[in-house]
Amino acid sequence: MWFEGSDEGIVDFIESLGSSPDDVKSIILTHGHPDHVGSLPELIDITEAQIFIHEMDISLLERFTGLKKESIRNLSILKGNENIDLLGETQVIHSPGHTDGSILLYNRSRKILFTGDVLITNSNGGLSLPKQEYTKDMEMEKESVKRLARLDFDVLLPGHGPPIIENAKSKVLRFIKEVISQVTV
């Protein structure tokens, strides 16, 4: 969680991995909700990281951090379909619904999918959609989940909940069939 005031916990976690804030090269914001951007002002001050966010979530970023786009050092605005260096080449996939600018990050070579809040897991590792009250367009959200199922991945890393480290795609397909709709992907 990145709520305002979480920066010390984030730095502590980075240091627990044997790294320092100086080692952070990129901060990729999967969307602009406060639990994902709240500590960005502090993290900008303590890292030299490149900041990435989709163009359609800039207004959320500004609202929830008090920062203005022009004042954010090292800001890169995404549109979707870019490739960035995250565990090797990783594709940015625009996946609106939760917010207008929600993104997925897909590393094809490692078969890893970072879902942000497009698809999350519960404490038991079961899949779920984000809560309706925090999602701008639930029908669009469901379509984004259906599209992500076309990717080839084994590992799913959500913005909330534990990761799924094996058979992730088959679990997503089952979730779509049982929860979202009968769909062919």
User: Considering all CA atoms of the chain, what is the largest pairwise distance in Å, rounded to the nearest integer?
Assistant: 47
Q: What is the pLDDT of residues 10-67, one digit of tens each?
A: 889 999 999 999 999 999 999 999 999 989 999 999 999 999 999 999 999 999 999 9
More confident residue, 147 or 185: 147
Distance CA 37, CA 34 (A): 5
Do domains 1-78 and 80-185 share one topology? The answer is yes
CATH superfamily of 80-185: Ribonuclease Z/Hydroxyacylglutathione hydrolase-like (3.60.15.10)
Give the residue extent of every domain in the chain.
1-78, 80-185
Q: What is the CATH number of domain 1-78?
A: 3.60.15.10
Provide the token pair at 118.
Answer: 């497009």
Beta bridge partners of 85: 89
User: Scanning the structure block, which residue is given the tokens 């701008």?
Assistant: 136
Name the residue among 102, 156, 94 with its Cα closest to residue 134: 102
Single-letter amino acid, residue 129: L
